[in-house]
């Protein structure tokens, strides 16, 4: 997963102490390419010079607001934006207007919450150049869309690929049945839960050593599934 | 306020009907009295009896004693005319001088239905002659029997009916006119009063007899508007104040929480220091929950939070909350048991997704907050007739029955003005109540089978 921690991250907030803390959280998790800015002006300069692959913006800045800054940043290059906001009511803006933000976090947050959001956005936005996910007893090669097990290469169908990608983005965490259905079939009022079970069984046949007692793709009864990578 | 026109209509109708009734009653009484007075009864009969009571004796004609008495008592004079000779055969003693004692046929024809010297006369015949009684001048109304027009008498029933109908029509016209004029002045007032509770500004035209009333209504409406505005302003100020404070706390709290978490996970620190950092982190998480609860609760209380109800499947919504908690609870201190039935899977409710998720999340967080040693939380979604239920239970320390009573019935300090000194329950549960109320649902708090705390949310099904 190292390709993610190499990404260039631009942090914009007018509180230097908060910047310090976020930087330390990111460093603790292995991120090394970090640049900070305390205003819109500094942010635009830093962006031009640094070429960020992810920007984390505060909504309220001394010389402007984060939404305008986002538009200016996106005008030159397209990369994901994560907002930090101290206002609960901003939630409505993010959800209602589809401003083009990739995600937002309401302050205060726990380090692990922030790290999870950042990793999820980066995985969604940037494909791993060498995405080889090691599982117990097999490996998933997302670049080729196949599973390697016992020296065999087993191709994944489009739906299986979608499901595994979604599970991998949330590796170690439960993904709800509903999120998986949405990933594979889109937002549909009629559940595809039975189809999902069929696909999960086929994926297990491909990735598990013993599909009837799975260790990599675990069922959480009634709720969802969890992909456990080896490490 | 349909009742006012109805009231007026009924009042007028009763008034007119009673007028008509009174008139009819009077007519009836009049008819009864005049029936007792019909001419032909008393004087004509007396005249006939008097004719019969006159006897021829040796000393000429003599009236019987009783008759003489009767005539005398009524102050009536009498004379008797022979049939053949037209001579006056007998007169009473009290015959006035003005009364002539010679008659020819034309005189007789006249007096049979008329007067002699202004005395009303009545005749009674016997086989010998004609008895004439003369009553005192003021005893009867002078009235020559008129010759009624034949058509008039023949058409009398029809005429009477027509008159009756004309009267009825006239009454109806009076009624309609009175009614409409009254309603014209009362209706705007009634409408004004009716609209007052809607809270919209009202203006009633201040003219006519009821202009003062209209003025009062306008004044009242104005006052209500002003109060409403003042109240809204005050509530907005309060909600904004809470929002402002919570905003200002968020950034410093971010740093407390972030650094505490880092210290807690720092391998360089001794275990005891990390424990302390954990306490700081946990408490700041509580403050975080409190801030957002306070903010949302105040907005809901002051109607500043839009509640957008849309049809949604309940199970995926709750499932998302549960999974989020399970993903955060890495150490598995709070294992969650999930239960749904088949019927619940298709249960669709009208809900504001974010708010309802917040409610369920608060319930789970509540169990976690009150059971620091850990507990098992079980969440079930079930569907019944017209309703969906979400039950969140834990096997933790639970609450006493007195506390439960308070939780279910006592208002929160934010809601209640009095009794502030009394310990009220946390904001988290208040928020749950508010959110479920916005969904027209019910919240019931109780004890779980294992002695822990349980909350049941009942939501109306779409």
Q: Provide DSSP, chain A.
A: -HHHHTS-EEEE-S-HHHHHHHHHHHHHTT---EEEESSHHHHHHHHHHH--SEEEEESEETTEEHHHHHHHHHHH----EEEEES-TTHHHHHHHH--S-SEEEESS--HHHHHHHHHHHHHHHS--SS-EEEETTEEEETTTTEEEETTEEEEPPHHHHHHHHHHHHTTTSEEEHHHHHHHHH-S-SS--HHHHHHHHHHHHHHH-SSTTS-SSEEEETTTEEEE----
Of A108, A173, A174, the CB nearest to B257: A108
Q: Is the ipTM of this complex over 0.90?
A: no
> pLDDT at residue B420 above 60?
no
How far B456 CA sits from the closest chain A CA (Å)? 20
Q: Is A25 in the B-facing interface, judged by CB distances under 8 Å?
A: yes
User: Are A224 and B253 an interchain contact pair (Cβ–Cβ within 8 Å)?
Assistant: no
Q: What is the pLDDT of residue B417?
A: 44
Q: B418 falls in which pLDDT band (50, 70, 90)?
A: very low
User: Are A223 and B322 an interchain contact pair (Cβ–Cβ within 8 Å)?
Assistant: yes
* Interval A75-90: pLDDT, tens: 888 899 999 888 766 5
Of B251, B259, B316, the CB nearest to A86: B251
Residue that is written with structure tokens 């500004």 in the block? B201
How far A204 CA sits from the closest chain B CA (Å)? 22
**Choice among A39-43, A187-191, B150-154 with the minimum mean pLDDT:** A187-191
* Interval B307-323: pLDDT, tens: 888 898 899 999 999 99
Nearest to B409 by CA among B427, B424, B390: B424
The residue-averaged pLDDT of A157-179 equals: 91
User: Which two three-digit tokens encode residue B136?
Assistant: 């005192």
| Farthest-apart Cα atoms in chain B, separation | 171
Q: B44 falls in which pLDDT band (50, 70, 90)?
A: confident
Give Cβ neighbours of residue B100 (< 8 Å, ≥ 6 apart): B107, B116, B117
Give Cβ neighbours of residue B241 (< 8 Å, ≥ 6 apart): none
* Beta-bridge partners for B231: none
Q: A17 falls in which pLDDT band (50, 70, 90)?
A: very high
Q: What is the mean pLDDT of chain B?
A: 84
Q: B341 falls in which pLDDT band (50, 70, 90)?
A: confident
Percentage of residues in chain B having pLDDT higher than 90: 23
> pLDDT at residue A185 above 70?
yes
Q: In whole angstroms, what is the distance from residue A109 CA to residue A101 CA?
A: 18
User: Are A178 and B319 an interchain contact pair (Cβ–Cβ within 8 Å)?
Assistant: yes
For chain A, which residues make up each domain, given as ranges?
2-125, 132-227
The residue-averaged pLDDT of B416-432 equals: 62
- What residues in A contact B258, CB-CB < 8 Å? 21-22, 25, 108-111
Percentage of residues in chain B having pLDDT higher than 70: 93
Could you tell me which chain B residue has the CA closest to the CA of A225? Answer: B323
Q: How is residue B417 annotated by DSSP?
A: S
CATH of A2-125, one of 3.50.50.60, 3.40.50.2300, 3.20.20.140, 3.30.460.10: 3.40.50.2300
User: Which two three-digit tokens encode residue B162?
Assistant: 């027509």
> pLDDT at residue B368 above 80?
yes
Give Cβ neighbours of residue A34 (< 8 Å, ≥ 6 apart): A8, A9, A10, A11, A23, A26, A27
> pLDDT at residue B232 above 90?
no
pLDDT higher for B439 or B242? Answer: B439
- Is A209:A148 a contact under the CB 8 Å cutoff? no
* Beta-bridge partners for A226: A174, A218
Q: Provide DSSP, B104-132.
A: -HHHHHHHHTSEETTEEEEEEE-SSEEEE
Which among B243, B258, B315 is the top mutation candidate for probing chain A, defined by the most A β-carbons within 10 Å of its own β-carbon?
B258
Q: In whole angstroms, what is the distance from residue B441 CA to residue B435 CA?
A: 9
How far A9 CA sits from the closest chain B CA (Å)? 19
Q: Is A187 in the B-facing interface, judged by CB distances under 8 Å?
A: no
User: Are B257 and A110 an interchain contact pair (Cβ–Cβ within 8 Å)?
Assistant: yes
Q: In whole angstroms, what is the distance from residue A71 CA to residue A63 CA?
A: 15
Is B204 exposed, middle or buried (CB count within 10 Å of its CB: 0-12, 13-18, 19+)?
buried
Q: What is the pLDDT of residue B64?
A: 84
What is the side-by-side order of every strand in the sheet holding A132-135? A132-135, A138-141, A146-149, A152-155
- Is B394:B453 a contact under the CB 8 Å cutoff? yes
User: Is residue B137 classed as helix, strand or coil in its secondary structure?
Assistant: coil
Query: At B310, which helix (H) or strand (E)?
Result: strand B310-313
Q: How is residue B207 annotated by DSSP?
A: -
Q: In whole angstroms, what is the distance from residue A146 CA to residue A156 CA?
A: 5
Could you tell me which chain B residue has the CA closest to the CA of A190? Answer: B346
Q: What is the pLDDT of residue A91?
A: 62
The residue-averaged pLDDT of A123-133 equals: 77
Q: In whole angstroms, what is the distance from residue B462 CA to residue B346 CA?
A: 11
Q: B146 falls in which pLDDT band (50, 70, 90)?
A: low
Can you say whether residue B157 is alpha, beta or left, with left for phi > 0 and alpha for psi between -120 and 50 degrees?
alpha
Q: In whole angstroms, what is the distance from residue A179 CA to residue B8 CA?
A: 67
> pLDDT at residue B116 above 70?
yes
* Interval A28-66: pLDDT, tens: 999 989 999 999 999 999 999 999 999 999 988 899 888
Q: What is the pLDDT of residue B41?
A: 54
Is B353 exposed, middle or buried (CB count within 10 Å of its CB: 0-12, 13-18, 19+)?
middle
Q: B301 falls in which pLDDT band (50, 70, 90)?
A: confident
User: Which two three-digit tokens encode residue B455?
Assistant: 């909350």
Can you say whether residue A30 is alpha, beta or left, with left for phi > 0 and alpha for psi between -120 and 50 degrees?
left
Q: In whole angstroms, what is the distance from residue B268 CA to residue B286 CA?
A: 26
Q: Is A96 in the B-facing interface, judged by CB distances under 8 Å?
A: no
* Interval B51-106: pLDDT, tens: 888 888 877 788 888 888 888 888 888 888 888 888 888 888 888 888 887 887 77
Q: What is the pLDDT of residue B145?
A: 59
Nearest to B333 by CA among B376, B367, B304, B291: B376
The length of chain A is 231
For A149, phi and psi rounded to 5 degrees?
-140, 130
Which among A222, A224, A227 is the top mutation candidate for probing chain B, defined by the most B β-carbons within 10 Å of its own β-carbon?
A222
Nearest to B259 by CA among B288, B287, B280, B283: B280
Most confident by average pLDDT, B98-107, B297-306, B388-397, B413-422: B388-397
CATH of A132-227, one of 1.10.10.10, 3.40.50.300, 3.90.1150.150, 3.40.50.410: 1.10.10.10
Could you tell me which chain A residue has the CA closest to the CA of B296? Answer: A88
Give Cβ neighbours of residue A70 (< 8 Å, ≥ 6 apart): A55, A57, A81, A83, A99, A100, A101
- Cβ count within 10 A of residue B285: 19
> pLDDT at residue B147 above 70?
no
The residue-averaged pLDDT of B13-18 equals: 86
User: Is residue B379 classed as helix, strand or coil in its secondary structure?
Assistant: strand
> pLDDT at residue B120 above 50?
yes
- Cβ count within 10 A of residue A43: 29
Of B262, B320, B354, the CB nearest to A111: B262
Percentage of residues in chain A having pLDDT higher than 90: 51
Of A25, A107, A174, the CB nearest to B251: A107
* Chain center to CA of A219: 21
Of A21, A89, A177, the CB nearest to B255: A21
Nearest to A193 by CA among A222, A164, A157: A222
Q: How is residue B446 annotated by DSSP?
A: E
Where are the extended beta strands (E) located within B370-462? 377-384, 387-394, 442-447, 453-460
Q: How is residue B196 annotated by DSSP?
A: G
User: Are A112 and B258 an interchain contact pair (Cβ–Cβ within 8 Å)?
Assistant: no
Q: A93 falls in which pLDDT band (50, 70, 90)?
A: low
């Amino acid at each position: 997963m190292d390709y993610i921690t190499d990404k260039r991250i631009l942090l914009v907030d007018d509180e230097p102490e908060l910047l310090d803390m976020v930087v330390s959280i990111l460093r603790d998790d292995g991120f090394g390419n970090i640049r900070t800015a305390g205003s819109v002006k500094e942010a635009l300069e830093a962006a031009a010079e640094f070429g960020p692959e992810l920007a984390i913006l505060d909504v309220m800045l001394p010389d402007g607001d984060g939404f305008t800054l986002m538009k200016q940043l996106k005008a030159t290059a397209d990369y994901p934006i994560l907002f930090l906001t101290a206002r609960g009511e901003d939630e409505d803006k993010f959800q209602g207007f589809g401003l083009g933000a990739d995600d937002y976090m309401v302050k205060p947050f726990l380090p692990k919450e922030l790290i999870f959001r950042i990793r999820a956005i980066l995985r969604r936005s940037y494909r791993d150049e060498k995405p080889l996910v090691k599982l117990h007893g097999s490996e998933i090669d997302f670049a080729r869309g196949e599973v390697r097990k016992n020296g065999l290469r087993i191709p994944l169908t489009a739906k299986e690929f979608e499901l595994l990608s979604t599970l991998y983005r949330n590796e170690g965490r439960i993904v709800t049945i509903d999120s998986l259905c949405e990933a594979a079939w889109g937002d549909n009022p009629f559940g595809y839960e039975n189809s999902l079970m069929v696909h999960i069984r086929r994926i297990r046949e491909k990735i598990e050593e013993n599909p009837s007692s799975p260790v990599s793709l675990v069922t959480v009864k009634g709720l969802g599934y969890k992909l456990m990578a080896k490490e | 306020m349909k009742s006012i026109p109805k009231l007026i209509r009924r009042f007028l109708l009763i008034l007119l009907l009673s007028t008509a009734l009174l008139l009819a009653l009077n007519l009836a009484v009049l008819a009864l009295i005049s029936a007792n007075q019909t001419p032909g009864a008393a004087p004509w009969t007396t005249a006939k009896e008097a004719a019969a009571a006159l006897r021829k004796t040796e000393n000429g004609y003599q009236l019987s004693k009783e008759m003489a008495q009767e005539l005398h008592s009524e102050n009536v004079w009498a004379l008797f005319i022979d049939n053949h000779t037209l001579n006056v055969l007998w007169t009473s003693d009290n015959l006035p001088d003005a009364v002539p004692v010679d008659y020819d046929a034309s005189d007789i024809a006249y007096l049979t239905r008329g007067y002699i010297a202004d005395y009303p006369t009545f005749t009674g015949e016997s086989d010998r002659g004609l008895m004439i009684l003369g009553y005192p001048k003021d005893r009867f109304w002078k009235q020559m029997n008129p010759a009624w027009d034949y058509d008039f008498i023949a058409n009398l029933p029809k005429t009477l009916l027509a008159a009756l109908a004309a009267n009825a029509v006239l009454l109806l016209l009076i009624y309609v006119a009175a009614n409409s004029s009254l309603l014209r002045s009362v209706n705007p007032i009634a409408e004004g009063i009716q609209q007052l509770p809607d809270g919209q500004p009202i203006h009633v035209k201040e003219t006519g007899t009821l202009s003062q009333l209209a003025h009062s209504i306008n004044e009242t409406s104005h006052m209500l508007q002003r109060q409403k505005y003042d109240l809204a302003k005050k509530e907005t100020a309060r909600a904004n104040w809470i929002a402002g404070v919570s905003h200002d706390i968020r950034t410093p709290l971010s740093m407390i929480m972030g650094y505490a978490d880092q210290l807690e996970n720092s391998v360089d620190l001794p275990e005891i220091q990390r424990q302390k950092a954990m306490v700081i982190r946990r408490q700041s998480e509580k403050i975080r929950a409190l801030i957002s609860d306070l903010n949302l609760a105040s907005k809901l209380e002051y109607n500043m939070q839009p509640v957008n109800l849309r049809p949604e499947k309940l199970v995926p919504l709750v499932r998302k909350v549960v999974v989020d908690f399970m993903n955060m609870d890495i150490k598995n201190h709070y294992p969650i048991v999930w239960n749904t039935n088949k019927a619940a899977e298709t249960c669709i409710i009208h809900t504001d997704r974010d708010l309802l998720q917040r409610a369920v999340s608060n319930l789970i967080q509540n169990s976690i907050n009150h059971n620091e040693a850990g507990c098992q939380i079980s969440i079930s979604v079930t569907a019944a007739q017209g309703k969906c239920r979400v039950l969140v239970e834990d096997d933790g320390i639970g609450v006493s029955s007195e506390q439960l009573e308070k939780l279910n019935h006592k208002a929160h300090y934010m809601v209640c003005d009095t009794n502030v000194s009394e310990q009220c329950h946390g904001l988290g549960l208040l928020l749950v109540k508010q959110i479920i109320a916005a969904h027209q649902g019910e919240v019931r708090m109780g004890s779980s089978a294992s002695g822990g705390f349980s909350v049941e949310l009942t939501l109306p099904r779409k």
